[in-house]
Amino acid sequence: MRSMKKEGEWLVARLQADDDAIPVGNLLREVWKLPRKQVHLLFQHKEVLVDGAPVAQHVLAREGQEIRLRMCPPEPLGLAPASEPLQVLYEDDHLLIVNKPAGMLLHPTEPHHHLTMDHLVAGHFFRTGLQAKVRHVHRLDQDTSGVVLYAKHAWASALLDEMLRERKIKRTYIAFVSGQMAKGSGKINEPIGKDRYHATRRRVTPNGDPAITHYEVKERYKTATKVECRLETGRTHQIRVHMSHIGHPLIGDELYGGKRDLVKRQALHAAVLTFAHPFGGEVVEVHAPLPLDLLALEKKLR
């Protein structure tokens, strides 16, 4: 994807010397991967400009020309903006990456939920003058802390969703699990599905969805292990289920057999997010430091 900058409601790119002449409609659909329906609407509303003038789909785009797309029209936030502070780890015209504290829901699931990460992001958009719908790209459990990726406009959301499906967004977690793990690294490839006997719990089951977790031991303690986990898939409670399945439930994770005597939530932190930027291709790697409760847990275990 060609690097693009945002100017008000427009995304702007300039074709380079190595770009072949191509009909603008084909450029948008085939090269820039815009949905066909969206391309049709952009041309219908004269929201595709080449060197400042509206064009038809068949017009050739050539080296050095400027392409403008009206991809960022004002949108309602969709949520009441919260005034509480938000820890921003990365931000540009297209993306926002934030650090979620443990104990906070990512998005409202009940009408009375008025303070979630989505509400905090709505507050950030409001304060910075961005009139855009709040779009989280992936999710974290309420009691899991760490990095969360948001898209700032619909095109970024569509591209990031596709990257997530194609496993092009790498998510690395730090977990503190019960017991000393014997192997230094491994791969857990076990399908995960719903537990018929518990409304919110998941379990390893032959009829579940494919789920793959890679792990590497980072430190061993007398009664526990610090593990780095990388997800290939993103099933609900995946790390929690997989670690419990191999006999090492997360410390604090009572739902899957962990004990809460050392920490009052599952000891799981989304530490690193790595991906190629959908607009430009440069590698984005964002780190969220361990929160205070897990630093305290680490000190106790040592």
Distance CA 57, CA 40 (A): 9
Q: Which of 90, 160, 88, 96 is nearest to 130 (CA)?
A: 96
C-alpha pair distances (Å), 64 with each of 4, 50, 67, 286: 14, 10, 10, 33
* Start-to-end Cα distance in the chain: 47
- Where b means 16+ CB within 10 Å and e means fewer, 234-267 reads ebbbbbbbbbbbbebbbbbbebbebeeebbebbb
Of 216, 215, 212, 210, nearest to 189 (Cα)?
212
- Write the Ramachandran bin of 281: left for phi over 0, alpha for psi from -120 to 50, otherwise beta: left
Q: List, by residue number, the catalytic residues.
A: 141
Fill in the amino acid letter for 235. Answer: R
Beta bridge partners of 286: 273
Q: Are strands 268-276 and 145-151 parallel, antiparallel or unpaired?
A: parallel
Give me Rg for the CA atoms of the chain.
Answer: 22
Annotate 85-130 with DSSP letters as a single string.
Answer: ---EEEE-SSEEEEEEPTT--SS--STT---SHHHHHHHHHHHHT-
Cβ contacts of 32-35, under 8 Å, gap ≥ 24? 32/1, 32/2, 33/1, 33/158, 33/159, 33/162, 34/155, 35/158
Residue with tokens 């085939």: 30
